[in-house]
Amino acid sequence: PSSALSEGPSSSATDVPSSPLSDLPSSSTTGVPSSALSEVPSSSATDVPSSTLSDTPTSGKTDVDPIQPKWRDEVHAVWLNGPGHSQQLSGGWPGFGSPSDGSNRGECNLTDENVRYTGYNVNGGFCKKASDSLDVEPYLVIYSGIVGVVLDASAGSGSLFPKLGSTGMLPFLEGLSAGEVSSNLAKSDVTATTTLKCHDKSAVVLTAKPNPDNGSTAEFGLVRQGHAVTHVTVDNLKWLTERGEEFVLDDACIAEAEENPDRANCKGNYMKGGSERSCQDSDYPICVGFREGIGWGKCKEDPLVKTDENCSANFGEPSGGNNPCDTTNFPECRSDQCFPKPVEDPSKPRCDQNYGGGSNPCGRKYTSCVGHQPGVQWGKCYDTGSPNGEVCDSDYGTIGGSCKTQAFPICNENSKCSKDPSTCYLEPPWFDVTMWGDSIALHFHWAVTPGCSGTVQFEAEMDFKTVTHTADYESNTRRINMLLTGQEGASTLYEDTGGGGLDNLQVTTSWAVTKRRDFGDVVVMAPKSIPTCDYSPCRAKFAKVDVTVANSNVSESQTVRLTLRRSGAVTYDGTPTSRIGAEITGMNVMVLDKNTQQPIGIPIHISKNWHDGKGSSIYRGTWWTANLLFHLPPRYTLDLTFAIVYEQFKGIPAFSHAQLSIVGYSTMWLWEEAALGTGGENFVMDPQGSHTRAVITDVRPKLFDGQWKQNVGGGDFLLYFDAAGSLQYKKELDAQLFANGPCLSDALYTSVSLDNAIKSEVRIGGGRTDDLVRMFFHIKYTAMKDTNFSRLAFFQMGGETYNYHATFSRFVFGNRNSTSHDFERSCTAGTQKKSSQMYNSENSGEKVYRETLPGEGPWWLAMGPNTDALKYGGKDTMVVGDRGLIIRSYTSSFGSVAYDSPSVSILCDKIELGPPSEVSMLKKGDVVEMKLEMLVLPRQEEFALTFENSPNSKSLEYLNTLTTTWQRVQAQAIFDILVTSDSPGARVESHYPVRIFAPPILGDGSFGFKITGQALGFVPIVICDLDSVGIPPGHGLWERPLGDSVYTLMTDVVDARQGNYVRSSGKYELVFNIETANVEYTEYSFGPNPNLT
């Protein structure tokens, strides 16, 4: 099944002229002080790097800046018992049930010492089922340090909302898990009922519950997810009677549907061009009972079709079939013209888009993708030919026309006359759940069926109290709202009828502002005048939106929940505001002080969408939002500038990482997309592995031409099979994207294995640079208890369930200047998992299995050149790239024995890092920690073009002199840097990217550090633990290369900086990007002019 995303945003977007936005009236109050760095009491500091990845608040922290969000304001969305539930998962996953079920023969024989256990049998199927814990209790916990809610997707607990309440009294001192938060939440019951009378039926009481005909599990659509706000839709609901049956308007609609007598297995409904896993007979088109990894479905009649009448149009509409195509040479009527029968691409590529699309399109000759069903099956590529000029209204041989009776008026997709579904059943209702850090907005929606009348009641029982709202079923809004708010130290939530304090806020800007009282937030519309990008180099386009926010309350602070939005959705009207183009694939929004134009560090997260293919959700389509929460003291005015960054930030390609909503594509939860510049994605993550089990999905090179490139993904992190051979999938995944960019993104993913044996912490970032797509991974695994494993992998480049265009000709790897392995790839697997394509695979006589890499790090591994046939030229810009991996550092301990070199396996056409061959168990306290860089490089034949498109890149200039992919990957390891500091109290946490903590006492306001060596591209430098984010005049980052006598202020570097506020410490970070030009060393100073001291 396809996990690639549907087609990217339209390439037809045109640039609109950029006009300067009018400045708002100036305020005398600035948002953030711009004074010199204040001194704080001295504390001891060590010089050893910190190994803690999490940003968990500690008991001694205080919140420094009154406007910044508190650590209790941070929102989390966590599935307690797995990656959602099984109906939310697609390919790559085992069946779920009893892990004892399954084979112990052949490759599944765990007692056979000759078997290199992979978890798969001889045919590549799973040996064992995985635990069904994810389905037994499919609980989603959304919480902050103020409010929390538990959603039960199956309502097996008796409610869709079994827990809801305040978390304001929980300590959060060392970071409570989502399970602990859930345990401490008050029990609740949120229900929506209607008392309804329809037509001549008696009045009935109905309740909104999960659809019993579709797995009895609600679908949770993730609209926005992040630290400021998380917004979830609860769909796949029906109006059910007290007996748990769907209410039927017309009893004739529920006659038993017959099963296809051939009893064929199915995975999807009948459709033209469908795969062999779809129902094949249009008379039995409905696949009933399929559950991914659990059981096949069976094909049945459509219960709404009770006639053999064929059709080409609905009842009362102009009939087709009166003018069919009249020749078998041009038999298909498309767009009122007769076409030849499509010819399938003989190479049989998999597709999800037509030629020119963004992710997995067809080629130039066989341009049309037919039969793709998201999450069900790939499409096939066809040459659809040219018409013969004949006008038509239906295919050759078509019989029938409009449906003949009002009893069966709808001509369905299978050309059968059907009952109108709206005359059989009530339209499905749905919930909206939106949580900001201090509040939760619950909304219930329904559609009105003609001929029905009554009332709807929305009720929340919680904290020993009940909140009830009632509305007429036929009301214009068709929605009931409930806003619940809490505060620190409070044991209960209260209903906020004042709209979240919006009456105290005055928000002004040059465009539209909407105060949404039912959400308690403010939406600022981005002006139509801000520019867009086409799929061509966007260069230095930049936009600013000024916003003034004032708190008129004279005695109380006010929480501000603010969203900057462009285009449709995220409001109920769904009205677009302006065209969105290629910039949506790689954009940032920064928050500046309007008066100083300096970043003020308020945490912001971007949520966006470009999917419009599935479902009726009003949140599908193309839109982006920048979301932030902050606090205004009494009578305080904050003048903000939203700076919207596209391709470049201050002349250098910016990096962006954001949540990409897949509402309109699938309901498989969380997707994230990252890009260097604009014009297409470069690195995509499915953090829970919902689509294919792989965390790293689409990976694409950057040629700086503004065009999408072909997918050479994916990859994966922790893969753990227990001693019995069962997959222990990750649970309690908490995905936090602390910084979107543009200088350095920062995301953290924490989780634990299902059996609570291994804790996983993965930190991911990407930096502003002008050469290559380069992702930084800081990975830490900790054994929480003793455990034996049958298989354990730490990282895969090329995932065993996601591995696109892996047509690399060679594997070459080594360390620093040395090469330890160099051999031709002769094995091809893609995502097939037969024994000969896994640990027993062989490439040109080479077998690499859990082999320790020789020498000292950094180590490097190259896969290339990619032999894909498509060459760059003309319209053929969708070319592949090569892969590279740098292991910058590696430390581990197994049973108190230290291992300081990584071990590698080659799985046919994939690379895997794992434990050394002699290790078969983990002891409590064992740790694996490594820092990696995943590289996506242009191929040799496109490298000169890449340099031509980015001619000022010193890195590309050097790399262009090399002749092979492996030399370019090796160069990343050879060019290595070391960071040191003689300033008392300064602490170096990371050498690359550079992370250095400022001393607690800065003396004259400055401290220094030295970078020895040289790195390729722009190096991110993060100055941590600052008391202020502002840089006064004459201050900044200064450099003195070896041989220079004075320091020089790096003006361009300082101007292009990013500011981060860290909730967990109440401190600030400043992020810069520099080129390290001196091969020996360069000294740096941060603060005032060091030449004066």
Q: Is a pLDDT exceeding 50 seen at residue 319?
A: yes
In terms of DSSP H, where are the helices of 873-1024? Answer: 940-949, 954-959, 965-974
Residues 501-523, mean pLDDT to the nearest whole number = 94
Strand partners, 189: 461
Best mean pLDDT range from 101-105, 281-285, 315-319, 562-566: 562-566
1092 confidence band (pLDDT: 50, 70, 90):
confident
pLDDT in the model for residue 373: 60
Angstrom distance (rounded) from CA 442 to CA 432: 6
pLDDT in the model for residue 300: 81
Q: How many residues does the chain have?
A: 1093
pLDDT digits over 1005-1043, tens only?
A: 789 999 999 999 999 999 999 999 999 999 999 999 998
Using alpha carbons, list the distances in angstroms from residue 311 to 280, 318, 328, 398, 416: 19, 11, 20, 9, 6
Nearest partner of 458 among 489, 432, 480, 490, judged by Cα:
480
Q: How far apart are the first and last CA of the chain?
A: 65
Q: Is the Cα dihedral 780, 889, 1074, 1035 positive or negative? A: positive
Least confident interval from 5-9, 114-118, 467-471, 594-598: 5-9
Q: Tell me 959's DSSP state.
A: H
Pairing between β-strand 1036-1041 and β-strand 1048-1049 as defined by DSSP bridges: antiparallel
pLDDT in the model for residue 25: 27
pLDDT in the model for residue 351: 75
292 confidence band (pLDDT: 50, 70, 90):
low
813 confidence band (pLDDT: 50, 70, 90):
very high
Nearest partner of 226 among 604, 563, 669, 630, judged by Cα:
604
Least confident interval from 280-294, 446-460, 483-497: 280-294
pLDDT digits over 620-652, tens only?
A: 888 999 999 999 999 999 999 999 999 999 999
Residues 400-426, mean pLDDT to the nearest whole number = 76
pLDDT in the model for residue 555: 96
Residues 484-507, mean pLDDT to the nearest whole number = 93
Contacts by residues 826-833 (CB-CB < 8 Å, ≥ 24 positions apart): 827/908, 827/909, 828/908, 828/909, 829/803, 829/907, 829/908, 829/909, 829/910, 830/803, 830/806, 830/909, 831/92, 831/692, 831/799, 831/800, 831/801, 831/802, 831/803, 832/124, 833/118, 833/120, 833/124, 833/800
For residues 496 and 484, the answer to whether their CB atoms sit within 8 Å is yes
Q: Is a pLDDT exceeding 70 seen at residue 432?
A: yes
pLDDT digits over 564-577, tens only?
A: 999 854 444 444 45
pLDDT in the model for residue 340: 86
Angstrom distance (rounded) from CA 77 to CA 229: 10
In terms of DSSP H, where are the helices of 233-289? Answer: none
Q: Count Cβ atoms below 10 Å from residue 944 Cβ, excluding itself.
A: 12
Angstrom distance (rounded) from CA 883 to CA 1062: 33
Least confident interval from 759-763, 801-805, 1002-1006, 1063-1067: 1002-1006
More confident site: 457 or 293: 457
Angstrom distance (rounded) from CA 775 to CA 797: 12
Q: Count Cβ atoms below 10 Å from residue 271 Cβ, excluding itself.
A: 18
pLDDT in the model for residue 174: 61
Residues 917-939, mean pLDDT to the nearest whole number = 97
pLDDT in the model for residue 496: 94
Token pair belonging to 664: 């309109």
606 confidence band (pLDDT: 50, 70, 90):
very high
761 confidence band (pLDDT: 50, 70, 90):
very high
132 confidence band (pLDDT: 50, 70, 90):
very high
Residues 545-562, mean pLDDT to the nearest whole number = 96
pLDDT in the model for residue 44: 31
Q: Residues 6 or more apart from 186 whose CB is under 8 A from it?
A: 163, 164, 165, 166, 462, 463, 492
pLDDT in the model for residue 321: 59
Q: Is a pLDDT exceeding 50 seen at residue 39?
A: no
pTM value is: 0.86
Best mean pLDDT range from 19-28, 378-387, 725-734: 725-734
Q: Write the single-letter amino acid at 682.
A: N
Using alpha carbons, list the distances in angstroms from residue 583 to 40, 541, 1067, 1078: 42, 10, 32, 35
Residues 804-825, mean pLDDT to the nearest whole number = 96
Angstrom distance (rounded) from CA 688 to CA 691: 9
More confident site: 284 or 749: 749
256 confidence band (pLDDT: 50, 70, 90):
low
374 confidence band (pLDDT: 50, 70, 90):
low
Residues 550-562, mean pLDDT to the nearest whole number = 96
For residues 64 and 71, the answer to whether their CB atoms sit within 8 Å is no
Token pair belonging to 554: 């004279």
Q: Is a pLDDT exceeding 60 seen at residue 357?
A: no
pLDDT in the model for residue 314: 75
Angstrom distance (rounded) from CA 152 to CA 735: 20
Least confident interval from 5-14, 35-44, 188-197, 439-448: 35-44
299 confidence band (pLDDT: 50, 70, 90):
confident
For residues 1013 and 1076, the answer to whether their CB atoms sit within 8 Å is yes
pLDDT in the model for residue 477: 85
Q: pLDDT averaged over the chain?
A: 86
Residues 929-949, mean pLDDT to the nearest whole number = 97
pLDDT in the model for residue 324: 77
Residues 256-270, mean pLDDT to the nearest whole number = 75
H or E segment and range at residue 135: helix 133-136
43 confidence band (pLDDT: 50, 70, 90):
very low
pLDDT in the model for residue 360: 66
Residue with tokens 């790195």: 1015
23 confidence band (pLDDT: 50, 70, 90):
very low
